[in-house]
Structure 1
């Protein structure tokens, strides 16, 4: 995880640029979740609340992910908070988002959030992929783990979020929001459903129940089984390469359960 700093540790020139948009900040609450920013906080001013996330201008990887959020926000605003402003000053690039007062999704068995998350993914699956944005291909992530025939099975034209973990799903007033569009891709429409089904299993949903939840999506009912096997192989090999076979065993068993 990227090392976090608080609002109070931002340079004064950055705070002043942000307060030009928000008004005087009277309270700042840091957020601990997330991987791709150095500062993340909710700011309270007399005008209300704003969520900010920022990276240092010399952070090339974080800056690239930041830029995807900026580029995609107008096209995914139906499922995520609106981007309100951006400031780049004092060595920092900071985004200000509409604040959503909510909580992270509960994906455990019987949770009332499960149908809300399903509806969110259905709406996300209906979003049009902006044709002028050169989104990376989902298949290319797995070039070190699959042969070309398997990679070809993971080609597609759907707009994918690719990181539907519960910390990226906020539930507020009976609906869900999909935040943090920092690692988008174009690929098969079922990929985000597959990732989310694995997250259900992580939250103690039995595999059969997670598969039944996924089966409510038309894209899942028509998934190419060879493509799904390639997805599972790639995911398992990638994690094993990162943390070792023993460290990956439990998570990889969840991915394998998608195939039953």
Structure 2
């Protein structure tokens, strides 16, 4: 698989997709009447306003609901007839958030229901907004601090929260690194393998980026907890900083100042980047997805941002 090629310079700051408008989601009004009636009945109040949350890249329903009695909830829904993998992702998120310790910054599922092919999850509503792109240093600092707090609360992995090992989950990505068309491929493979051998001390989110974070008056929260794994405590911070680097942030300075990463072996950071480079190089080359029209351009931007940071850190040049 060929990496972007040419210059290893950073991609355009802010990403390559319209922030907050990347997903093609069903609306609350488009759900079957019986599904909506079940939700309103269990909530004990009618829905008077529904705002679809169109960030992300999956075609499941994700809406903030305002109820007649003034309460707010967040609802996710998907049908096994249309997207069974999304149903499983939503179900997994509910299982995970039910067992997260109180110190983890994440909304919890209140209840779930199943009506024929439809799975519905009613969750805590978060009154917040996604970080702005390009990333701002102050908002990034808030999110990085939140990730450190999450890592403390999730080390060691909480009793009752059963998660796979990150090394097992990323085995396919290691194979993708081996397929990279780069003069430094063997070095990338060695770095990635060493990173995967790191002790799995902590439950990590594995998918922290701007559209999976909400900023509130109190700080920040992470959403979409369906890909969790047991891995090193610093994994989420390093992977988030790829996006920040692509937006023009000095991510190496952030690493140097964060308690999770300030003493981290630089080769382990580069191992994360090598794994992400392998994945995003492969993913960006896959066929267009009609139900997620911005997915491939998002992945191509990440490929370029990851390669730019890794090559800068290693002193590599494609010039």
TM-score normalised by structure 2 residue count? 0.72
3-state SS of paired residue (2:261) = helix
Deviation of 1:222 (Å):
2.9
**Is 1:54 matched up with 2:58?**
no
Equivalence map 1:1-260=2 (5 Å): 3-22=24-43, 23-36=45-58, 38-47=60-69, 48-58=71-81, 59-74=83-98, 75-77=100-102, 78-106=104-132, 108=134, 111-128=137-154, 129-146=157-174, 149-150=193-194, 152-205=196-249, 209-244=250-285, 247=300, 248-257=303-312
How far apart in 2 are the matches of 1:109 and 1:241?
26
The alignment of Structure 1 onto Structure 2 pairs a total of residues equal to: 256
Q: In the TM superposition, what is the alpha-carbon distance from 1:250 to its structure 2 partner?
A: 4.2
- Conservation of the 8 A alpha-carbon contact between 2:166 and 2:196: no
Rounded Cα–Cα distance in structure 1 between residues aligned with 2:305 and 2:240: 16
Shift in alpha-carbon separation, 1:240–1:114, aligned structure 2, 3 A: closer
Comparing 47-56 and 209-218, the one that deviates more: 209-218
Distance of 1:217 and 1:176 partners within structure 2: 16
Q: Say which is worse superposed, 159-168 or 53-62, in terms of deviation.
A: 53-62
CA distance in 2, matches of 1:215, 1:21: 49
- Measured after TM superposition, the shift of residue 43 of structure 1 is 0.9
C-alpha separation in 1, matches of 2:136 and 2:54? 27
Q: In 2 relative to 1, CA 243–67 (structure 1 residues): closer, same or farther, beyond 3 Å?
A: same
User: 5+ unaligned residues in a row in structure 1: which ranges?
Assistant: none
Deviates more, 1:45-54 or 1:221-230: 221-230
Q: Matches of 1:144 and 1:114 in 2, distance apart?
A: 30
Structure 1 length-normalised TM: 0.86
Query: Which ranges in structure 2 are unaligned for 5 or more consecutive residues?
Result: 1-21, 175-188, 286-298
The 8 Å contact of residues 23 and 55 in structure 2, kept in 1 or not, is answered as: no
In 1, Cα distance between equivalents of 2:248 and 2:36: 42
**Separation in 2 of the partners of 1:180 and 1:258?**
30
- Quickly say closer, same or farther: Cα 1:253–1:57, change in 2 above 3 A: same
Q: Distance in 2 between matches of 1:12 and 1:186?
A: 40
Cα deviation for residue 224 of structure 1 reads 3.3
In the TM superposition, what is the alpha-carbon distance from 1:162 to its structure 2 partner? 1.1
**CA distance in 2 between partners of 1:119 and 1:145 (Å):** 28
Q: Distance in 2 between matches of 1:52 and 1:116?
A: 26
